[in-house]
Copies of this chain bind each other. A is one copy, B any other.
Amino acid sequence: MTKSQSASGGVALWRQIADAIRLDIVGGKLANGDRLPTEALLAERFSANRHTVRRALAVLAEEGVVAAEQGRGTFVKSIRRLSYPIGKRTRFREGLRGQAGSLTSVSISDKIENATARVAEALGLKPGTKVVRTESMSVADGVPISRSTTWLPYRRFPDFAARIKEMQSTTMVFQSYEIADYSRASTRISARHADFEETRSLNLAPGAIVLVSEAVDIDLEGEPLSYALTRFPAERMELVV
């Protein structure tokens, strides 16, 4: 293993270089269309060899952050993050309208289980109460943009899983249960590294970051309808309050 690949603080040098260049872009030091410094200059700046710099650039190219042009150098491509609005009235499809050509929801799996303390608390149930749990993700223009785990009271929504597969819209499923309207009671936002399953399902590079939103939706009477744990790839999404 060469020096260039050695881990400093557990993060390989090529990843640190990729992070630094990405930050320059996100921070506005490098704008869309700008030419990056040459490999030789980047190698000097980061005290790295050119092989390591090339690896960092390859990662950024794969992410769509930069693009190499034959004989001309490497250029910045704007990082297009989708903005997902969070408010009293939070609707996934509405919130992203106009930001993506196609937006699809994919049901991955579902099961009926007993509520853990955390799920029970969020839904105002006793721990151990039967809940429906669904695993799903959403894809914008072919790119995964979220991965959700959602719990709902089984008693009220016994066949939620079948209906969401058919209708692919939470709002429509709630309407089918005669819930005219619903709103967001609370959203808790944190961030962490993606776990193995998320890395795979969201098609992320190892070490990628997810924004995690924990959301409770309630009906007009204030009754909790669902508790959803949604992971958004930080490189593709931002949340707007």
Q: Which residues of A contact B (CB under 8 A)?
A: 1, 5-12, 14-16, 19-20, 22-23, 26, 28, 59, 81, 83, 86-87, 116-118, 184, 186-193, 195-196, 205-207, 209-211, 234, 238-241
> In the complex the two chains form, is B241's CB within 8 Å of A187's CB?
yes
Q: Identify 14 residue pairs between A and B in the complex whose beta-carbon atoms are under 8 Å apart, listed by A's number.
A: A11-B11, A16-B206, A19-B192, A20-B196, A23-B195, A28-B116, A28-B117, A86-B241, A187-B241, A190-B234, A190-B238, A191-B210, A192-B209, A209-B209
Given contacts A9-B206, A206-B8, contact A193 B19 (CB under 8 A): yes
Contacts of A1 on B, CB cut-off 8 Å? 1, 6
> In the complex the two chains form, is B189's CB within 8 Å of A239's CB?
yes
In-complex Cβ contact of A189 among B12, B16, B87, B238 (8 A): B238
> In the complex the two chains form, is B83's CB within 8 Å of A188's CB?
yes
* Shortest Cβ distance from residue A80 to the other chain B in the assembled complex, whole angstroms: 13
Q: Give 8 closest A-B pairs by Cβ, nearest first.
A: A9-B206, A10-B15, A191-B191, A10-B12, A191-B234, A190-B238, A7-B12, A187-B241
Contacts of A14 on B, CB cut-off 8 Å? 10
Contacts of A5 on B, CB cut-off 8 Å? 7
Given contacts A86-B241, A187-B240, contact A192 B234 (CB under 8 A): yes
* Shortest Cβ distance from residue A121 to the other chain B in the assembled complex, whole angstroms: 11
Bound-state Cα–Cα, A193 to B59, Å: 15
> In the complex the two chains form, is B190's CB within 8 Å of A81's CB?
yes
Bound-state Cα–Cα, A192 to B192, Å: 9
* Shortest Cβ distance from residue A150 to the other chain B in the assembled complex, whole angstroms: 15
Identity of the chain B residue whose Cβ is nearest the Cβ of A241 in the assembled complex: B187
Bound-state Cα–Cα, A191 to B23, Å: 11
> In the complex the two chains form, is B11's CB within 8 Å of A207's CB?
yes
In-complex Cβ contact of A241 among B28, B186, B193 (8 A): B186
* Shortest Cβ distance from residue A240 to the other chain B in the assembled complex, whole angstroms: 5
Contacts of A192 on B, CB cut-off 8 Å? 19, 22-23, 26, 209, 234
Contacts of A11 on B, CB cut-off 8 Å? 10-12, 15, 193, 206-207
* Shortest Cβ distance from residue A191 to the other chain B in the assembled complex, whole angstroms: 4
Sample of 4 further A-B pairs with CB below 8 A, known A12-B12, A193-B209: A11-B11, A11-B206, A22-B192, A190-B211
